[in-house]
Amino acid sequence: MEPERILLAHGSGGKLSYDLIRELFLPPLHNPILATLADAAIFSRQGMRLAITTDSYVVDPIFFPGGDIGKLAIYGTINDLAMGGAEPLYLSIGFILEEGFPLEELRVVVNSIKDAARQCGVDIIAGDTKVVPRGKGDKVFINTTGLGAVSEGVELSVDRICVGDKIIINGFIGEHGIAVMTQREGLEFDTPIKSDAAPLWGLVSQMLEASHGLHLLRDPTRGGVATVLNEVVSGGDFGIRLEEKALPIGEGVAVACEILGLDPLYVANEGKLIAFCQPDEVEHILAAMKRHRYGREAMVIGEVVATPPGKVIMKTRVGGTRLLDMLTGEQLPRIC
Amino acid sequence: MCLGIPMKLVEKEGDTGIVEAGGVKREVNLHLVEGVEVGDYVIVHAGFAIQKLDESEAEETLKLLREMLEAGEE
Amino acid sequence: MKYIDEFRDNNLARALARTIARLAEGSPEITLMEVCGTHTVTVFKHGLKDLIPNNVTLLAGPGCPVCVTPSHYIDKAIAYASLEGVTVATFGDLFRVPGSSSSLEKERARGGDVRIVYSPLDALRLAQENGDRKVIFLGVGFETTAPLIAVSVQEARRRGIRNYLVFSAHKVMPPPMEALVSDGELRIDGFLCPGHVSTIIGWGAYRFLSQQYHIPCVVAGFEPLDVLEGIWMLLRQIRNGEPRVENQYRRAVREEGNPRALALMREVFDMADSEWRGMGIIPGSGLTIRDRYRDYDAEANIEVEVEPASSHPGCVCGSVLKGVKTPFDCSLFCRVCTPEKPFGACMVSSEGTCAIYYKYSDRA
């Protein structure tokens, strides 16, 4: 039963999203840069290496603990550039506003955008606004496009990954997705779970400065850590092995996931990065990360292995092995 | 349908209450269980408490397993 | 997490694994059926198959309400969703289950009002807040869940909510277990019995299996140590040759279960014959809404045209559920039936046997 229409699951970052891109978008638009399907597209012009990326933000609710759609719209694009090793230079922004959306709320969003951009040291130098009739949008959709510059010698790509590379994450997982979901599911927290939304270029530049042993960076947004790791190994001749007991999961996130029947490994993050590093550089990189506010809880969570190739497996807490597959679509709360 | 997790009853008013685990709280319906008081643990399934958790039995189960571990190490 | 983390202890798991290995040593092949789908989830989530010896096989049974819901039920739910003024509320588990030609997920994409809820009380609230719409809650699940739906119906009556209805597909557990053992084809040496279903019906409900059919039964909880201890207890019974019903999940299950929940369930629901996908009709295995609550029965109150049921000739979900065939025996498996495009519910459900085999197989 081939889906003939777009399903919500096509937007969840899992297998359906992946297939949509590979089967519907890539063939007609194909070119070598696009085909890398990297977070940021890198190209050269007159001796400079530039990076460009674009992202759209449709999060619902638009205000959530720890942030709002405006903050996400800036950080998300900055982070895509950072994953390519690119220093953010400029941003453009496009708004699609729904008829009836209160201007007061729009002002709050724009204020968040201002604060986030200032924090990242980037100016928004181009913009666009459109309005759609009531019911044809969802309050506000935002698109941001980012332009960055990649320094000489910085080469982050899947091709650099070697068996034996260690996999590092900069902190606790699942916070953004749970923060957004809890409002809908009536869960309350003693210490409210806040979105971990954060701009990561500062952390990345410190990591790049500390070591040349950084091979690849990816940010585990929609679909979570497990999805992004599956993307990395897909079609490759190496695999990934995680240690469940090494995974940093906060108690609140863990319990919320237990209640709703969700798996934290598949929950979205907005302030996390996963780094693949040369094993003998891990200590340097971890030390550099811990000096930065967004890297204080950095730790090794796994490594690149030769077998099984193309798969992500995890050694579970009780000593078994589990296959972490790519999600088919959005993760749904279960009772079974 | 079997997902149910142990949570502690921290508030109770008639047939509804608030349960808590690991700092997470949720409203729970107590209609299906009798004699549950604040401080008790209950199994929570889809927003309802379906049984009171017997803490002494939980301890007994773990104790037995710990004995098994010790016996194995001799 | 209290009463969860302790039951995931690494050292105790290894101790259990060692004890299981010793018990199973030298034994011929032993096949244990984990009846409940959530047990299957635990086994895979924690990689428990690595902790049990090769001569002990775990077979996934029919205890997955999503897996055993007939295609026809989904078709009717889809038909309800396409009606003007109707909202269909469902647990997330059912959202992607395929009917004959569509699913609730696809219906939502087409504009149908389908909402995912965590609890039937959420659906009741939807009804209260949207008086102009009829809210139909898809009542799927075994005895763990049916009492909750019963309470929601009684609540609706108490609050005077007239636009809340239930479309029941509820089923009960002991009848299919009996159907499995009285079927000559099946050879299982023990049942790992459902945990939370037993919280409601009590472990005494399985006595007939050990007494009449001489099959060892152990009721087990859902943490790794629970499942491992349950397997150990079954192996011990098999070795001693004294089949009976034992209760591993003592902290949550009593012999008589939860009489209050059972009474509430029986107050609202009546037993009826019910169709189990791939297993045909099992007498007295389903729950229908009683006459006195007819006002809350979607089927009794809402007329709808449903497409004629069809299933795929190559789909052998039924045999897979019974443990008689493996997914590899199905001509559709991997080639046409995949988690992204599932035919039978065995592939849709995250704990469905086919979905699990798919993840572990080398895909073409």
CB contact under 8 A, A329 and C96: yes
Query: Which residues in A have their CB inside 8 Å of a CB on C?
Result: 1-3, 5-9, 15-16, 19, 185-186, 245, 251, 254-255, 258, 260-261, 314-323, 325, 328-329, 332-336
Domain chopping of chain C, boundaries: 1-310, 317-360
- Is the CATH number of domain A38-150 3.40.50.620? no
Average pLDDT over residues B58-70: 95
Query: What ipTM was predicted for this assembly?
Result: 0.96
Q: How far apart are the first and last CA of chain A?
A: 25
User: pLDDT above 70 covers what percent of chain B?
Assistant: 96
In sequence order, the 6+-apart residues with CB closer than 8 A to the CB of A282 are A166, A168, A213, A300
**Contacting residues of A for C71, CB less than 8 Å apart:** none
Written as one letter, the residue type at B39 is G
Reported CATH class of domain C1-310: alpha beta
What's phi and psi for A228, nearest 5 deg?
Answer: -65, -35
The 8-class DSSP code of residue C257 comes to -
**Contacting residues of A for B27, CB less than 8 Å apart:** 186
Q: Which of B2, B51, B60 sits opposite C38 (nearest CB)?
A: B2
Residue A185: the pLDDT is 65
Q: Which of B20, B23, B26 sits opposite A191 (nearest CB)?
A: B23
Name the nearest CA neighbour of C37 among C96, C97, C93, C120: C93
CB proximity B8 to A under 8 Å: no
CB contact under 8 A, A188 and B21: no
CB proximity C121 to B under 8 Å: yes
Q: How far is A222 from chain C (nearest CA, A)?
A: 18
The 8-class DSSP code of residue C239 comes to H
Q: Please identify among residues 288-317 of chain C the ones whose CB lies closer than 8 Å to any CB of chain B.
A: none
For C161-170, C256-265, C346-355, which range has the lowest pLDDT when averaged over its residues?
A: C346-355
Q: Confidence band (pLDDT; 50, 70, 90) for C307?
A: confident
Domain chopping of chain A, boundaries: 38-150, 158-323
Neighbouring chains of C at 3+ CB pairs under 8 Å are A, B
Q: Confidence band (pLDDT; 50, 70, 90) for C363?
A: very low
The span from the CA of C308 to the CA of A174, in Å, is: 43
Q: Topology of A158-323 in CATH?
A: Phosphoribosyl-aminoimidazole Synthetase; Chain A, domain 2 (3.90.650)
- The number of angstroms, rounded, from the C-alpha of A147 to the middle of its chain's C-alpha atoms is 18
Domain chopping of chain B, boundaries: 5-73
Residue C339: the pLDDT is 78
Sign of the four-CA dihedral B2, C350, A2, A137? positive
Written as one letter, the residue type at A180 is V
CB contact under 8 A, A336 and B3: yes
Q: Which residue of A has its CA nearest to B45?
A: A335
SS3 category, A144: strand
CB proximity B49 to C under 8 Å: no
In sequence order, the 6+-apart residues with CB closer than 8 A to the CB of A38 are A83, A84, A157
CB contact under 8 A, A190 and B25: yes
Q: How far is A307 from chain C (nearest CA, A)?
A: 13
Q: How far is B38 from chain C (nearest CA, A)?
A: 16
CB contact under 8 A, A323 and C48: no
Tell me which range, A48-62, C140-154, C315-329, is most confidently predicted by mean pLDDT: C140-154
CB contact under 8 A, C44 and A334: no
Residue C364: the pLDDT is 34
Helix axes C37-45, C353-360, angle to 10 degrees: 20
CB contact under 8 A, B69 and C11: yes
Whole-structure pTM over 0.80, yes or no?
yes
The 3-class secondary structure across C73-137, one letter per residue, is HHHHHHHHHCCCCEEEEECHHHCCCCCCCCCHHHHHHCCCCEEECCCHHHHHHHHHHCCCCEEEE
**Contacting residues of B for C253, CB less than 8 Å apart:** 51
CB proximity B29 to C under 8 Å: yes
- Is the CATH number of domain B5-73 2.30.30.140? yes
Residue contacts between A and C (CB atoms, under 8 Å):
110
Q: Which of B2, B5, B22 sits opposite A252 (nearest CB)?
A: B22
CB proximity C251 to B under 8 Å: yes
Q: Which of C16, C250, C258 sits opposite B50 (nearest CB)?
A: C258
Q: Which of A245, A314, A332 sits opposite C92 (nearest CB)?
A: A332
CB proximity C116 to B under 8 Å: no
Average pLDDT over residues C311-317: 77
Q: Which residue of B has its CA nearest to C15?
A: B69
Written as one letter, the residue type at C351 is E
Could you tell me the mean pLDDT of each successive run of 10 residues in chain A, 336 residues long?
75 83 94 90 94 93 92 96 97 97 97 97 97 92 97 94 98 94 70 91 97 96 94 94 97 91 94 98 97 97 96 96 83 78
CB contact under 8 A, A187 and B26: yes
Q: Tell me how far CA of residue C28 lies from CA of A230, B73, C25, C31, C227, in angstroms.
A: 39, 27, 9, 10, 21
The span from the CA of A245 to the CA of A322, in Å, is: 13
The structure tokens listed for C282 are: 């099992």
Q: Which of C9, C17, C93 sits opposite A335 (nearest CB)?
A: C93
**Contacting residues of C for A312, CB less than 8 Å apart:** none
pLDDT per position as a tens digit, C179-215: 888 877 778 899 999 999 999 999 999 999 999 999 9
**Contacting residues of B for A191, CB less than 8 Å apart:** 23
